Structure 1
Amino acid sequence: MPFQNAPASLASALAARGYESATPVQAAVLAPDAEGRDLLVSARTGSGKTVAFGLAMANTLLDDNGRCPPPGAPLALVIAPTRELALQVRNELEWLYASSGARIVSCVGGMEPRVEARALNAGCHIVVGTPGRLCDHLSRGQLKLSSLRAVVLDEADEMLDLGFRDELETLLKAAPPERRTLLFSATIARDIANLARRYQTDALRIDTQSGSAPHTDITYRAVLTDQSDMANTIVNVLRQMESPTAIVFCHTREAVRQLQGILTQRGFSSVAISGDLGQNERSRAIESLRHGQARVCVATDVAARGIDIPDLGLVIHASLPSNPATLLHRSGRTGRAGRKGTCVLLVPPSRRRLAERLLEGAKVTAEWGGAPTPEDIAKADAERLLSAPQLSIAVPESGGMHELITKLTEAHSADQLAAALIAMWRANLPEPTSVRVISPGSVKKAPRERTRRDDEEGDHRGPREPGSWFRLSVGREDRADPKWLVPMLCRLGGIRKQDIGAIRIQPDHTLVEIAQDKAERFQSCAAGADADEITVEPSAPPRGGAGRDGGRPPRGAGGPGGRPPRKGGGGGFSKSGPSSRKRKAF
């Protein structure tokens, strides 16, 4: 039996669900050397890790008969980065522990806290929640952790990236020191390793990712397209691929709204998920995807975290990810449970070098090409029609359908019936559009990249005449550094490096000079940024004039590799991008 080390009640639940074999991470946590120990597990999204930690903590929670004791103070606490993921984890654990009599309570933002408090007071065995809401219940005395036997941190790297370190430490410090701590993360970076050292004891390290290798079930494609053709290219990619469900990532809420409106107008059943939506709206959007009522989800990075979309076969990066980890995390939503998936990066020619660095950093190889043409889509449509299973159904020898078939074949020729079938097939398909095809060999070498010396000395080739000044809500305390401020400003404001003048980094904010003729556009584009991103507002020039020192911060202030800081719930600046209505940049 694949789950022979699991309690009988859980093994039967897995068999009823059709689990025939354990995934690598599930097999690893059931190994004899993992029993009763703290675990430090690196496992990617979609690897079956929810069932894995459900199995890992089972012997800690259940008695010899595979049953839970009477409900009271929780015995296990599962912490997840987002409410969607927390609710998915609760649903998974509910069927896994159904025969054990476990009572599972969720505590997440966006839900009624008084209902959660009543459920906690009534007694339970497992609590699943998000860091902020769990800390709220803890501070009010409604969440009692004195009886905890196990704490699970699911997607710990995401929680640290979202700025939940303080909340995680508050919860871990409140738990009994003798409890088990199971830490699951896509990567074991320095912050994760430090957290493990502080709050785990003799943890068993489990690595099921073969180093940092990407998903092998995902095919990567890089499509060169003009920024002005971006929406049309997305339409054609969706039409060519015809995935049952697809997700398109944009940088900003405004870009999400624009693109989702375009797709709906073109005939795609689509939903938008961004920071604008309330919990009920998000839930309805996700349910429409799960039930097949919508086919395309247009989302920002942060808003889409934790969303599990079944049969997701296509991921489109309408805006390039900010780093290789984000590329892999976005793309990892497809190619799950042994199914194949496709990831498409849409790359303006001017950003090809950036895309190549992202792919190289993620250790994936992409097939480069131009945007699909209507002719390409017509060919793909023909192949799908010819292989449609409806063409292989048995012809009835009697009944109403047989009579109708006889009437059709007597009244019409085979060519007429075939033409009618093709017309009816195409009637339900969105119309492709003409786009400019850019072949990889036609793109000239990109201009020289900025050097570290350029960034540190503030040589931005900025405006020679005095420009307009703007205040950013990050400063030296947030590791502000020109190495990532300059590209972030270009993405956020729809400008070029040449349009940026002096940069003055202060302890808690940064002042940036923008060319006078680009200031209005910069302000308009920056206003479309997600609420979770940094704030940008007009400012007076700094005292003492602009200068050209670039506001160089002290050594070490920029973080490893010049990475932008991760603040609050916004996940840093990975979502920033131009989104003005005049220039539909996604």
Structure 2
Amino acid sequence: MIEGIAPALAKALEKRGYLELTAVQKAVLEPAVKQADALVSAQTGSGKTVAFGLALAPTLLGEAERFGQAQAPLGLVVAPTRELALQVARELSWLYEQTGATIATCVGGMDMRSERRTLERGAHIVVGTPGRLRDHITRGALDISGLTAVVLDEADEMLDLGFREDLEFILGEAPAERRTLMFSATVPRAIATLAKKYQHNAVRIEAAGEAKQHHDIEYRALLVAASDRDNAIVNVLRFYEARNAIVFCNTRAAVNHLTARLNNRNFSVVALSGELSQNERSHALQAMRDGRARVCIATDVAARGIDLPGLELVIHADLPTNPDTLLHRSGRTGRAGRKGISALIVPHPARRRCERVLQAARIAAEWARPPSAEDVIARDNERMLADPALSEPVGESEQEFVTTLLEKFGPQQMAAAYLRQNRSSRSAPEYLSESGPLPAMGKSANHAGTPSRDRDDFGDSVWFSLSVGRKQNAEPRWLIPMLCRTADLTKREIGAIRMQPEETFVQIAANSADSFLQAIGPQMTIQGNIRVAMVEGEPDFGRSAYRTPRPDKKPHRGKGNFTGKDKPWEAKSKAGKPAKPKSGKKPANPIAPAKPRKKPKSS
């Protein structure tokens, strides 16, 4: 039995499987804190709900082991969101189970009449959100004249959400001779001011290990091309195959977009945003808890206070705006000694901003590429080989039909059928385009840990021309998977891709050229209408029809860029580049008619 705790609470902890208290839980049990006000800073996932439950016991119970008849509440816990308030009520219910405590909730979005009837029957502890608590107090349904202790949970978030006026009203209506405990992840000036006004000689507690943020979380910053954000999220989800994952977006529109995209890709997804009703939010969270959904897409505000047990993966689809948001988001995983992964999807233009946020949060993230399609497929194969079903002995009831299957189809065909069935149940991975060099502090490796290949050192190759270009909206992001799918290639067999207005040059590994030609057939077409031609040697990209316009010359409205024919005055140097005028001025156009010289005026 854990010492220094009320016997009824100690039994509840033992029943729950607690062998040792966390740092913040030990801190609130110190003799100096026993009946004093306290300002506690502890990060999300540090066990602070149980901590203030333990801290309240001496004040609420005194020397008794059980509560008496429930009347006006003795304790009040204020939380910023509905989900957090309901979660706190669940935690206190099992912690105080053997004390006979009655715990009531007052949260926005729930039936106010039902809450009023519960309060009329009496409660020892009330847990609620600021706005709903104020409503009940104003209407006379909640009598807080007998309070002996008040807890403000996630006080910094309550101020961020604009609940200062409600909090000051509640604290002003509570008895002056009460105990006030404030729990906050951070202690900005606004929290310090609130504590000074409503607490008396408060003990300041900083949970041990606060400086070492989330040591059970592996942070990965995944650099992507800006157009590949959604594709990278798909590959991260597929690579880790987490039991539970949460994807954070900055806006409701982004949540709706990503939810639709992942639903179309056969992921079991739920969304959390401010536009949902309480009933819809409750159903979404329950789907995550019972396994009907595996991915939750949410905004920061909507996700505040939610607790998803066993959450293994946090993905930042949109970068957090500040270090506190990064820590709050990531703190959903890596709890209770379990390991978690926090993956930041970093578009290349936002790399510097991400570095600043990580530095401010004192987090050393590993910079890497997102998992490629090949990485995802390799991980799928590993999971298949580790499937216990493949190593279990054949049962007697199965033997006869197994023999029939092998005789009819053979082992190779059966293995291929198993592979296809396994892959068809999962979303296909996405092919990602290059996203620029990794930061110097990152590892020069791709996601799987194999060295990234320099395209300039591709090795022996053959160039092919495809009859699509920029004018046909051709892009590497759809050309590469199309070639892999229809021409029997892997991404590693495709080298550089050079886009031109009317055609595209693709570099294919020399030892794959013959199989490539065989796959596309004698018609030399792909996708029905894209013509393919082999190029002798290396294409002369310098003689392509496209040429970048001069910075001092804009194209005419409605016309394309000027070509070499538009500029016949440009002389070619020996290196094939335009020769620079000696005077720095544009040479005269030999085609333009010569202007007549003015006759000198007679003196």
For Structure 1 versus Structure 2, the TM-score category normalised by the shorter chain is 0.7 to 0.9
Question: How far off is 1:199 after superposition?
Answer: 1.4
> Aligned partner of 1:37: which letter?
A
Partner Cα separation in structure 2 for residue 189 and residue 17 of structure 1: 35
Question: How far off is 1:292 after superposition?
Answer: 0.5
Name 2:84's counterpart in structure 1.
Answer: 85
SS in structure 2 at match of 1:344? strand
Pairing 1:42–2:63 present: no
Name 1:429's counterpart in structure 2.
Answer: 426
Name 1:528's counterpart in structure 2.
Answer: none
Name 2:387's counterpart in structure 1.
Answer: 388
TM-score normalised according to structure 2 size: 0.70
Equivalent runs, 1:290-309 vs 2, <5 Å: 290-309=289-308
Question: How far off is 1:418 after superposition?
Answer: 3.4
SS in structure 1 at match of 2:312? strand
Name 2:281's counterpart in structure 1.
Answer: 282
**Residue 408 to residue 211, structure 1, CA distance change in 2 (3 Å):** same
Name 1:177's counterpart in structure 2.
Answer: 176
Partner Cα separation in structure 2 for residue 46 and residue 157 of structure 1: 16
Q: Is the 8 A contact 1:369 1:440 kept in 2?
A: no
Equivalent runs, 1:328-347 vs 2, <5 Å: 328-347=327-346
Partner Cα separation in structure 1 for residue 172 and residue 157 of structure 2: 20
Partner Cα separation in structure 2 for residue 14 and residue 423 of structure 1: 48
Equivalent runs, 1:307-322 vs 2, <5 Å: 307-322=306-321
Name 1:228's counterpart in structure 2.
Answer: 227
Pairing 1:136–2:135 present: yes
Q: Is the 8 A contact 1:78 1:153 kept in 2?
A: yes
Partner Cα separation in structure 2 for residue 93 and residue 195 of structure 1: 25
SS in structure 2 at match of 1:46? coil
Name 1:265's counterpart in structure 2.
Answer: 264
Report how many aligned residue pairs link the two structures: 440
Question: How far off is 1:431 after superposition?
Answer: 0.9
| 1:523-577 Cα distance to aligned partner (Å, 9 max, x none) | xxxxxxxxxxxxxxxxxxxxxxxxxxxxxxxxxxxxxxxxxxxxxxxxxxxxxxx
Deviates more, 1:292-301 or 1:22-31: 22-31
Pairing 1:160–2:159 present: yes
Question: How far off is 1:409 after superposition?
Answer: 5.4
**Residue 211 to residue 282, structure 1, CA distance change in 2 (3 Å):** closer
Of 398, 416, 419, which aligns to 1:419? 416
Name 2:243's counterpart in structure 1.
Answer: 244
Q: Is the 8 A contact 2:24 2:208 kept in 1?
A: no
TM-score normalised according to structure 1 size: 0.72
Name 2:466's counterpart in structure 1.
Answer: none
Name 2:371's counterpart in structure 1.
Answer: 372
Name 1:208's counterpart in structure 2.
Answer: 207
Q: Is the 8 A contact 1:370 1:439 kept in 2?
A: no
Equivalent runs, 1:430-469 vs 2, <5 Å: 430-441=427-438
SS in structure 2 at match of 1:299? strand
Partner Cα separation in structure 2 for residue 8 and residue 374 of structure 1: 56
Question: How far off is 1:209 after superposition?
Answer: 4.8
SS in structure 1 at match of 2:267? coil
| 1:52-106 Cα distance to aligned partner (Å, 9 max, x none) | 1111111211253410121110000000000000001011111111111111110
Name 1:125's counterpart in structure 2.
Answer: 124
Partner Cα separation in structure 2 for residue 207 and residue 392 of structure 1: 51
SS in structure 2 at match of 1:312? coil
**Residue 61 to residue 348, structure 1, CA distance change in 2 (3 Å):** same
| 1:142-170 Cα distance to aligned partner (Å, 9 max, x none) | 11111111101111111111111111111
Question: How far off is 1:233 after superposition?
Answer: 1.4
**Residue 196 to residue 442, structure 1, CA distance change in 2 (3 Å):** closer
Question: How far off is 1:178 after superposition?
Answer: 1.7
SS in structure 2 at match of 1:261? helix
Question: How far off is 1:296 after superposition?
Answer: 0.7
**Residue 56 to residue 402, structure 1, CA distance change in 2 (3 Å):** farther
Which sections of structure 2, spanning at least 5 residues, go unmatched?
A: 441-603
Question: How far off is 1:424 after superposition?
Answer: 2.6
Partner Cα separation in structure 1 for residue 164 and residue 403 of structure 2: 71
Q: Is the 8 A contact 2:226 2:349 kept in 1?
A: no
Partner Cα separation in structure 1 for residue 164 and residue 64 of structure 2: 38
Partner Cα separation in structure 1 for residue 23 and residue 416 of structure 2: 50
Partner Cα separation in structure 1 for residue 50 and residue 408 of structure 2: 58
**Residue 70 to residue 427, structure 1, CA distance change in 2 (3 Å):** same
Identity fraction in percent:
56
> Aligned partner of 2:174: which letter?
A
SS in structure 1 at match of 2:297? strand
Question: How far off is 1:423 after superposition?
Answer: 2.4
> Aligned partner of 1:421: which letter?
Y
Name 1:572's counterpart in structure 2.
Answer: none
Partner Cα separation in structure 2 for residue 264 and residue 82 of structure 1: 27
**Residue 76 to residue 165, structure 1, CA distance change in 2 (3 Å):** same
> Aligned partner of 2:367: which letter?
W
Partner Cα separation in structure 2 for residue 439 and residue 214 of structure 1: 30
Q: Is the 8 A contact 1:68 1:100 kept in 2?
A: yes
**Residue 191 to residue 400, structure 1, CA distance change in 2 (3 Å):** same
Bigger radius of gyration, 1 or 2?
Answer: 2
Deviates more, 1:407-416 or 1:196-205: 407-416
| 1:190-229 Cα distance to aligned partner (Å, 9 max, x none) | 2212222221122222211534432011111111222322
Partner Cα separation in structure 2 for residue 325 and residue 60 of structure 1: 32
Question: How far off is 1:402 after superposition?
Answer: 4.5
| 1:468-497 Cα distance to aligned partner (Å, 9 max, x none) | xxxxxxxxxxxxxxxxxxxxxxxxxxxxxx
Equivalent runs, 1:54-65 vs 2, <5 Å: 54-65=53-64
Which sections of structure 1, spanning at least 5 residues, go unmatched?
A: 444-586
Name 1:553's counterpart in structure 2.
Answer: none
Partner Cα separation in structure 1 for residue 271 and residue 225 of structure 2: 24
> Aligned partner of 1:190: which letter?
R
Partner Cα separation in structure 2 for residue 172 and residue 291 of structure 1: 38
Name 1:147's counterpart in structure 2.
Answer: 146
> Aligned partner of 2:427: which letter?
P
Name 1:115's counterpart in structure 2.
Answer: 114
**Residue 386 to residue 209, structure 1, CA distance change in 2 (3 Å):** farther
- Greater length-normalized contact order (CA 8 Å, ≥ 6 residues apart): 1
Partner Cα separation in structure 2 for residue 299 and residue 209 of structure 1: 30
Q: Is the 8 A contact 2:42 2:210 kept in 1?
A: no
Name 1:401's counterpart in structure 2.
Answer: 398
Question: How far off is 1:31 after superposition?
Answer: 2.6
Question: How far off is 1:271 after superposition?
Answer: 0.8
| Coordinate RMSD, CA, aligned | 1.8
| 1:419-447 Cα distance to aligned partner (Å, 9 max, x none) | 3332232221111111213243499xxxx
Name 2:592's counterpart in structure 1.
Answer: none
Q: Is the 8 A contact 1:369 1:439 kept in 2?
A: no
Q: Is the 8 A contact 2:367 2:439 kept in 1?
A: no
Partner Cα separation in structure 2 for residue 442 and residue 105 of structure 1: 52
Q: Is the 8 A contact 2:149 2:180 kept in 1?
A: yes
Q: Is the 8 A contact 1:42 1:209 kept in 2?
A: no
Question: How far off is 1:32 after superposition?
Answer: 2.8
Question: How far off is 1:335 after superposition?
Answer: 0.8
SS in structure 2 at match of 1:220? strand
**Residue 223 to residue 261, structure 1, CA distance change in 2 (3 Å):** same
Deviates more, 1:426-435 or 1:153-162: 426-435
Partner Cα separation in structure 1 for residue 212 and residue 164 of structure 2: 27
SS in structure 2 at match of 1:422? helix
Question: How far off is 1:414 after superposition?
Answer: 4.5
Partner Cα separation in structure 1 for residue 438 and residue 153 of structure 2: 44
Name 1:480's counterpart in structure 2.
Answer: none
Q: Is the 8 A contact 1:371 1:437 kept in 2?
A: no
